[in-house]
Structure 1
Amino acid sequence: MNAKVYILALSVIAVGLVELIVGGILPVIADDMNVSLSAAGQLITVFALVFAIAGPILLVTTSKIERKSLYLTTLLIFFVGNILTYFSTSFSFMMVARVITAASTALIVVLSLTMAVKVVESKHKAKALGLIYMGISSSLVLGVPIGILVSDLWGWRVIFLGIALLSLGSMTLIYFFMDKLEGETQIPLSKQLKALGQSKMIGAHLATMFMLAGHYTIYAYFTPFLETNMQLDSKWISVFYFIFGMAAISGGAFGGMLSDRIGSKPSILIVIGAFAVSLFLLPFAASYMLFFIPVMIIWGALSWSLAPAQQSYLIESDPVTSDIQQSFNNSALQIGISIGSAIGGFALTQTGSVSSNAWFGGGLVILAFLCAIYSFSRSTTAEKESIAA
């Protein structure tokens, strides 16, 4: 594998930490900023929404700019956003800084994905995407425990100073080791929007959204699930999060290798189908520790195994607009996280049992499976023109 892909993956880890790292330190931030806990929670919600909206827009508007220069400039903006967060004196000021880091993170992530497939041979593109997603999952999974640890030792502001320093390290690696990559020929926005509106692509993006929604319906409430169903204390809950995290981190690489070996379409169906089964099994497995751990590991690994195959499928389906499709798919992922967390809260309120969240989540994943099948059954405009010719 080209070493440049590993550099891009490291950069994604550095910038990706900023999204969910506040999740474990919300009470501390709320106290320091004199706001309610629910208000502090908007730091996560706003980040996800800005990420989802900014990614495709920024990709289109910067399409002609040389990729390496754009990457370095965006990392610099990300650095500034974290420094502003470190020095923020009010919650409003911190929210503005949060918008800056969200927008820059969105562009860095999609640039990493699009650049990764351009620096490797075609046969390794899914594996390259898998490594990038391994970086994304690493940052999302490890962000919460890292945030709690650093905040306890040195205070919550130091977290963002550390992330800023990591971004400087990424800038150094990109500057010295990444080759220049010319921007793409700008495709008219109307054509890109038309490509996004094709039923084949809509089905693929909905599959990603429902997959992540199903995952976060239970994962967002995993702590009360472990407390209620397995009577675990905080020490053992941390152990289970660590095991889950390691499985999730490996999932991206596994998904990439699977897609390279058997193709994107069968990989997508296998991953989504097995993921649904693992969610439905979770409440039953919780009665037996030796059964629950392997089910949890499979659940964790599959939670990030879809992305490489899905990204490869988007590239294969419409190569001309693949960059915007990849960006929009990341937006669908972020929207899925928000929807899943909201549905999980609704399910818990309505049923009073966190176990039901796993079944609600499984139902959403079945919808993802159906959306994937629908997408496979449709043709893009380019494919129809090719058949006609």
Structure 2
Amino acid sequence: MKKFAYIGCLGFIAVITTEFGVIGILPQIADHYKISIDKAGYLLSAFALIIALTGPFMTLLTSGFDRKKVMFTAISIFLVTGIVSSFSPPFWLLMLVRILPAFLQPVYIATALSVAVSQTEKKYRNQLMSIVFSGVAIAMVTTVPFATWVASLWSWEYSFMIQTIISLIALITIYFLLPAMPVKEKKSYDSQLKILVQPTFIISTAMNFFMITAWFSTYSYFADYLNKAKGMDTTMVSYMLFLFGIIGVFSNWIAGKMLSKNIMRTTAFFLSGTIIMPVLLYFSDGNLIATILSIGIWGFLYSPSFLNASTYMISSVPDSLEFANSLATSFGNLGVTLGTTLGGWVIVSYGVQYNPWIGFIFGLLAFLMMVLRSSIERRQKMTICKA
């Protein structure tokens, strides 16, 4: 049912606004707390690391609860985080309240996807999933750049106020428009955990990890990169985030259609951006028009990355949607952590202009995993045919 998918999308906007809303204001936060940009980046990498370490376990633990209550509880914690953060608390407290919602972020995503596809035919699953995941791109085109723009006018605390408002709207929508959805038949832990030993799923997980690491080695420092490597001020960066996001909304819609036809080719097509973008960004140099065009292409190829990663992983274990997606979220965020950490190290050691080349290396590793999975699947088909 599309209604459920759109409700899930709205909550996803709140989730992404909270997780990635700091990207545009990291330089301001670093200046306020008198810390280096890589330490400010901990606000993103620590959030992602908690998701990576706890996501699958939290999803298993909550798999028997009413789905509406799970979604409502998760967004409630995001709301509290936004409120506390907007008062510019000590950095340790800011870090603590940033970490708290991370425990339920993958739970929310897995539950929202499950709710979205709960009353539909299998052939429409990917399109409904793309509606939920479009929350990523919509946040990038609306709330994230708007919060960055507001922060550029006044101060970074206002960015968290925007996050609070979005979480409140999502919370009210879930409460009034989503019916109670108790789980009728809870799957056993054993039936869900068995996917962890399937070779194609393990390889798909590695592909997800390498792909997200590739993208976030630069995207985590989007504002710092455009400021130092491309000479853009905070206001211009907010415009670029807007461009990035508006193209991303269209990109997610296209990706949803493409995934319904061929998951492997679609994933490979968008993954190619990790190889293409370092070259485009390098040759755009100081040319403003070329840089803007490059950012547009970047937004198009990057935006469906989480949708592609989840769909690619789920396609190897189609009967374990929720648990597989929680693992996709966890390993994707582990990629966010590694990408952000490596990106921060490169900035401090060599300069932010070199960050896209980290993506080039990890993009190649992701492609290697796709080739390996295809090879295994071909051998499996040949074995079945011979039998």
Structure 1, unpaired ranges of 5+: none
Deviation at 1:231, TM superposition (A): 4.8
TM-score for the superposition, normalised by structure 1: 0.83
Aligned partner letter, 1:276:
I
Q: Does the aligned pair in 2 maintain the 1:2–1:119 contact within 8 Å?
A: no
Name the residue aligned to 1:139.
139
Contact in 1 for aligned 2:71/2:111 (Cα 8 Å): yes
For 1:245-256, list aligned pairs within 5 A.
245-256=245-256
Amino acid at match of 1:359: W
Name the structure 2 match of 1:128. Answer: 128
Distance, in Å, in 2 between the alignment partners of 1:345 and 1:84 is 26
Distance in structure 1 (CA, Å) of the matches to 2:163 and 2:116: 23
Shift of 1:20: 2.6
**Does 1:163 pair with 2:163?**
yes
Aligned partner letter, 2:217: T
Q: Would the aligned equivalents of 1:43 and 1:98 in 2 still touch at CA under 8 Å?
A: yes
In the TM superposition, residue 151 of structure 1 has moved relative to its aligned partner by 4.1
Give the counterpart letter for 1:374 in structure 2.
Answer: L
Counterparts of 1:1-389 in structure 2 under 5 Å?
2-26=2-26, 36-37=35-36, 40-86=40-86, 90-139=90-139, 145-151=145-151, 156-157=156-157, 159-183=159-183, 185-223=185-223, 225-226=225-226, 230-232=230-232, 235-260=235-260, 262-286=261-285, 290-348=289-347, 352=350, 354-378=352-376
1:230 to partner: Cα distance: 4.9
Question: Is contact 1:255–1:304 with CA below 8 Å preserved after alignment?
Answer: no
Q: How many Å separate the matches in 2 of 1:85 and 1:356?
A: 31
Deviates further, 339-348 or 136-145: 136-145
The one-letter code of the counterpart of 2:216 is: Y
Following superposition, the deviation at residue 277 of structure 1 comes to: 2.6
| Contact kept in structure 1, 2:216 and 2:339, CA below 8 Å | yes
Please give the alpha-carbon distance, in whole angstroms, between the structure 2 residues aligned to 1:80 and 1:230.
36
Q: Tell me, yes or no, if the aligned pair for 1:55 and 1:106 is still in contact at 8 Å.
A: yes
Residue 213 of structure 1 aligns with an amino acid whose one-letter code is T
Aligned mates of 1:349, 1:92 — CA distance in 2: 22
* Amino acid of the structure 2 residue aligned with 1:214: A
Q: Summarize deviations over 1:66-103 as a string: whole Å, max 9, x none.
A: 21222223333333444444568544444332222222
Q: Give % identity.
A: 27
Q: Is the 8 Å Cα contact of residues 277 and 356 (structure 2) preserved in structure 1?
A: no
Q: Cα RMSD (Å) of the superposition?
A: 3.6
Native 8 Å contact 1:77 1:101 kept in 2: yes
Q: Which moved more, 1:15-24 or 1:331-340?
A: 15-24
CA 143–211 in structure 1, closer or farther in 2 if over 3 Å, else same = farther
Rate the CA distance shift 1:341–1:184 in 2: closer, same or farther, 3 A. Answer: farther
Question: Does the 8 A contact of 2:72 with 2:174 survive in 1?
Answer: yes
Q: 1:20–1:134: structure 2 CA closer, same or farther, 3 Å change rule?
A: same
Query: How has the CA–CA distance of structure 1 residues 116 and 378 changed in structure 2, closer, same or farther, with 3 Å as cutoff?
Result: farther
Name the amino acid aligned to 1:324: F
Larger deviation: 330-339 or 168-177?
168-177
Relative distance call for 1:341 and 1:156 in structure 2 (3 A) is closer
Inter-partner Cα distance in structure 1 for 2:347 and 2:27: 22
TM-superposition CA deviations, 1:1-37 (whole Å, max 9, x none): 71321121111112321113234445665677x6745
Indicate how the Cα distance of structure 1 residues 289 and 92 shifts in structure 2: closer, same or farther if over 3 A, else same.
closer
Distance in 1 between residues matched to 2:44 and 2:351, nearest whole Å: 25
Cα contact 1:2–1:120 (8 A) shared by 2:
no
Contact 2:59 2:106 in 1 (8 A): no
Kept after mapping to 1: 8 A contact 2:267/2:309:
yes
Q: How many pairs does the alignment contain?
A: 385
For structure 2, the 5+ residue unaligned runs are none
CA positional deviation for 1:386: 9.0
Three-state SS of the structure 2 residue aligned to 1:181 is coil
Q: 1:325 to 1:234 in 2, by over 3 A?
A: same
Contact 1:22 1:147 in 2 (8 A): no
Which amino acid is the alignment partner of residue 137 of structure 1?
Answer: A
Between 226-235 and 311-320, the greater mean CA deviation after superposition: 226-235
Is contact 1:259-1:267 (8 Å) kept?
Answer: yes
* Cα distance in 2 between the residues matched to 1:83 and 1:385: 57
Does the 8 A contact of 1:126 with 1:309 survive in 2? no
Counterpart residue identity of residue 357, structure 2: W
CA deviation profile, 1:199-238 (whole Å, cap 9, x unmatched): 2112112212211221222334445654566555555444
3-state SS of the aligned residue for 2:270? Answer: helix
**Partner Cα separation in structure 2 for residue 359 and residue 92 of structure 1:** 32
CA shift, 1:317, in A, is 2.3
CA distance in 1, matches of 2:330, 2:152: 32
Pick closer, same or farther for the CA change 1:97–1:278 going to 2, 3 Å.
Answer: closer
The offset of 1:385, in angstroms, is: 12
Shift of 1:108: 1.7
Q: Name the TM-score, length of structure 2 as normaliser.
A: 0.83
1:274: how far off? 4.9
Q: Structure 1 residue 302: deviation in Å?
A: 1.0
